[in-house]
């Protein structure tokens, strides 16, 4: 039998992500697939980066945690097709995952994955779900 955790423990694990990354981490949106793990160096072209709001995620509830506030870069760094994201505190990557257009099922969703230099880029969806239910 697999280990099962209460909703309270799952919520606490999710809430610890925000306290570990700090109050205003940086979100980077990059081309291509994400690296093997967070410890690996950056890959792909940096398309957009933004400092996330001081309280960037809602409190966990029911084993999930969702974005809060506006996640936006008003002037994209470069043009290309978004493929992955990394959330960092300083140079340290703490989370990474896939990027798709809204409704595409990616870990992070944008209104469009096609980004042009200097355009505004806004995250439309981001939810973390803790396992072991």
* Rounded average pLDDT over 39-59: 96
Whether pTM > 0.85 for this model: the answer is: yes
Taking only the tens place, the pLDDT of each residue in 54-103 is 999 999 999 999 999 999 999 999 999 999 999 999 999 999 999 999 99
* Rounded average pLDDT over 99-112: 96
In 3D, which of 54, 81, 51, 59 has the Cα closest to residue 14? 59
Contact assessment for residue 88 and residue 28, using Cβ atoms and an 8 Å cutoff = yes
What's residue 53's pLDDT? 93
């Amino acid at each position: 039998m697999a280990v099962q955790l209460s909703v309270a423990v799952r919520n606490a694990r999710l809430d610890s992500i925000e306290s570990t990354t700090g109050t205003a981490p940086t979100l980077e949106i990059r081309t291509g697939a994400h690296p093997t793990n967070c410890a690996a160096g950056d890959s792909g072209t940096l398309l957009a980066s933004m400092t996330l709001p001081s309280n960037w995620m809602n409190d966990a509830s029911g084993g999930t945690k969702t974005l809060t506030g506006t996640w936006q870069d008003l002037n994209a760094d470069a043009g290309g097709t978004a493929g992955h994201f990394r959330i960092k505190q300083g140079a340290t990557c703490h989370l990474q995952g896939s990027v798709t257009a809204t409704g595409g099922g990616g870990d992070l969703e944008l209104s469009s994955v096609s980004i042009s230099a200097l355009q505004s880029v806004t995250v439309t969806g981001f939810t973390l779900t803790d396992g072991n239910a």
